[in-house]
Amino acid sequence: MSTTTQAPKALRGVGNWIDDRFHLAKTGEKNLRKVFPNHWSFMLGEIALYSFIILLVTGVFLTLWFNPSMAHTTYEGSYQRLNGVEMSEAYASTLRIDFDVRGGFLVRQIHHWAALIFVASLVVHMLRVFFTGAFRKPREINWLIGVGIFTLAMLEGLFGYSLPDDLPSGMGVRILQGVMLSLPVIGTYVSMFLFGGEFPGEDIIPRLYMLHILLIPGILLALIVAHFMILWHQKHTQYPGTGRSEKKVVGTPMFPGFAIKAGGFFFFVFAVIVALSAFVQINPIHLFGPFTPTAITSGLQPDWYMGFMEGSLRIFPNWLDFQIFGYAVPIGVLVPGLVIPGLIFGGLAAWPFLEQWITGDKRAHNVADRPRNAPVRTAVGVAGVVFYGILWLAGANDILSHTFSISLYWTTYFFRVAAIAGPIIGFIVAKRICLGLQRRDRETLEHGYESGTIQQLPSGEFIEVHKESSQETVHVLESKAAVDRIDDEAIASVEESESDGVEAPAARGLKGKLRAKLAHWYTKDNVSFEGVEAHTGHHLHHGAGHEEHEEMAGSH
């Protein structure tokens, strides 16, 4: 592992030739030598990039044949079963893509599988950034851009799903309209505006089409470019380890090492998506049939990334709806359809700033946190994941109920309770696990690792021999800040006010007090590594010191 590399001779020749003419060496060398940390979790964002590229290419292919029109037509085409059925041009042209355009069916399926993988990779990428604290200064802007990409990607998928005008499309659009209508006062206007009249009207598909192929992909592309430019400028974070510091990045240089890996990885992503598309049927619009407003069916869901909204609509009770001046305020739609998603995305966007405010940590961070070393953040993240996961499952409650022969009502009650209790349990469990891991880390740091070798001492006592950890491990373990409260001023103020009753300036006022309390909550349980030095523990050299052991665990 070195931080520099020497390009092969042949390449250097070509490089010099180009450089004599374009003088690219300065910028070029800097960029080609750019170092990428070697860890799989840094590749998650790339999955998103590659599937987005696949979406762009296949999407352009689809636009060549797709006709975004709601004009009525009677189908006469290669798909026998639906001959003579009335449908919209949009649906008919999607059937044409499936059955008359060479390769059309495959491309449609690639487009759809890539969409599912795209949003899934955004989620895992985002979780990686969250749990390692990679959103901290100086990367807050990129985090915000990420939240934007995620939100738009969901909308993009929803609108794309609505285009073919098949049965699930229509049902999805109807739910969308229902949520819009729940907006107090402006609901009906918004709906009339978007649909150009009553549901479903003739305008909605052309409008969604414009959003789906032009506006949202354009914004997404711009955001993705900005995301990468900022990343390029700031460089990746890296996990702690030997030679890695806030100032120095260790990894594979952009060229040739990383470029080859990334290129190969693109083809792998592409291969997986195409293999799925070739063998696994997705969104069989020809089986669903065209949307008709009288149709209602069970067993249809939105794509997975809208599942949490579906779930929140399904389990939210309707007891809270009320009327005011004759206008219905459907809390049962408004809250689960808009407020809860708003809270999830708003919370995601606000978290870096909230955390910064609580901890008072305004320093720049280039070394990623190990999730266990930020137990409250990790626990909040887990609580969020559990909440999202429960809503997501609830969105499939009819399928779960039928597949596992569980009563439908029972799933609803279960998910209602779980949506509240689950995150709390998740929080507590995750935090306990983090603290346990911290304790183990401290022990490993002090005493080395358990070698698995049992020795009998002359006194007859059996001990397990501890061995010194590798240099790398020690560096990783030492990356944990000895004391976690970074904001000395806030601590001082809390301590002062506790000792002499005089409030320090930072802790004054309601906001100051709240903040001091939150800061305390955020760090109070952390295992202190203060004064811990690698391999200074006693039982490295002689017998097991149980008393000492217990005393340490109880000393905080």
Partner 1 sequence: MKWITARRRHPLAGYVVVLLALAVFGVGYALVAPSADRAEAQVMAAAQTGAEPAGGETVDIAQGRDIWERSCASCHGLNGAGSDNAPDITGAGGAAVDFQVSTGRMPSSNPDAQMPRKEPAWDREEIDNLIAYYEQEIGQGAGPAVPEEPPGDEPVRSDYEDEDAYEEAKASYDEAYDAYINGASDTQAGMQLYLANCAHCHSWSGAGGGLTGGHWAPQITDATPRQLYEAMLTGPGQMPVFTEGTVTPDDKQELISYVKTLQAEPNAGGIFDLNRVGQVAEGFIAWTVGLTLIIACAIWITAKQRAHD
Q: Where are the beta strands (DSSP E) in 326-410?
A: 327-329
What is the C-alpha separation between 77 and 67, in angstroms, rounded? 15
> Quick one: which of 155, 165, 238 has its CA closest to 202?
165
* Residue ranges in 87-116 that form contacts with partner 1 under rule CB under 8 A: 98-99, 105, 109, 113, 116
Evaluate whether 226 touches 145 at the Cβ level (below 8 Å): yes
- The answer to whether 124 contacts partner 1 (rule: CB under 8 A) is yes
* Dihedral angle of Cα 497, 502, 505, 510, to the nearest 10 degrees: 70
- The answer to whether 273 contacts ligand HEM (rule: CB under 6 A) is no
One residue of 37, 133, 146, 157 binding ligand HEM per CB under 6 A: 157
**Minimum distance, C-beta of residue 400 to ligand HEM, in the bound complex (Å):** 23
One residue of 264, 317, 346, 436 binding partner 1 per CB under 8 A: 264
- The answer to whether 454 contacts partner 1 (rule: CB under 8 A) is no
Ramachandran angles phi, psi of 525, nearest 5°: -90, -5
One residue of 52, 66, 91, 288 binding partner 1 per CB under 8 A: 288
Torsion over CA: 445, 446, 450, 451 (sign): positive
Question: Which of partner 1, ligand HEM, none does 276 bind, CB closer than 5 to 8 A by kind?
Answer: partner 1
One residue of 408, 457, 514, 553 binding partner 1 per CB under 8 A: 408
- The answer to whether 268 contacts partner 1 (rule: CB under 8 A) is yes
Question: Which of ligand HEM, partner 1, none does 386 bind, CB closer than 5 to 8 A by kind?
Answer: none
Comparing CB distances to partner 1, the nearer of 129 and 183 is 129
Question: Which of partner 1, ligand HEM, none does 396 bind, CB closer than 5 to 8 A by kind?
Answer: partner 1
What is the C-alpha separation between 8 and 406, in angstroms, rounded? 64
* Residue ranges in 294-353 that form contacts with ligand HEM under rule CB under 6 A: 303
- The answer to whether 212 contacts ligand HEM (rule: CB under 6 A) is yes
3-state secondary structure 224-268: HHHHHHHHHHHCCCECCCCCCCCCCCCCEEHHHHHHHHHHHHHHH
**Minimum distance, C-beta of residue 396 to ligand HEM, in the bound complex (Å):** 18
Kindly determine how many residues on this chain lie close enough to bind ligand HEM according to the rule CB under 6 A: 29
Evaluate whether 89 touches 205 at the Cβ level (below 8 Å): no
Q: Which two tokens stand for residue 18?
A: 């180009």
- The answer to whether 111 contacts ligand HEM (rule: CB under 6 A) is yes
Is the bond preceding residue 330 a cis peptide, omega within 30 degrees? no
One residue of 163, 331, 344, 367 binding ligand HEM per CB under 6 A: 163
Q: Which two tokens stand for residue 23?
A: 């003088």
Evaluate whether 104 touches 98 at the Cβ level (below 8 Å): yes
Q: Which residue has the tokens 């759809």?
A: 112
Torsion over CA: 58, 63, 67, 68 (sign): positive
Evaluate whether 532 touches 482 at the Cβ level (below 8 Å): yes
Evaluate whether 297 touches 306 at the Cβ level (below 8 Å): no
Comparing CB distances to ligand HEM, the nearer of 134 and 158 is 158
One residue of 160, 187, 307, 336 binding partner 1 per CB under 8 A: 307
Question: Which of ligand HEM, partner 1, none does 299 bind, CB closer than 5 to 8 A by kind?
Answer: partner 1
What is the C-alpha separation between 303 and 115, in angstroms, rounded? 9
Spell out, one character per residue from 22 to 51, where the chain touches partner 1: x when CB under 8 A holds, - when not.
----------------xxx-xxx-xx----
- The answer to whether 413 contacts partner 1 (rule: CB under 8 A) is no
User: Which residues of this protein are in contact with ligand HEM, per CB under 6 A?
Assistant: 52, 55-56, 59-60, 62-63, 66, 94, 97, 108, 111-112, 115, 118, 153, 156-157, 160-161, 163-164, 212-213, 217, 220, 283, 285, 303
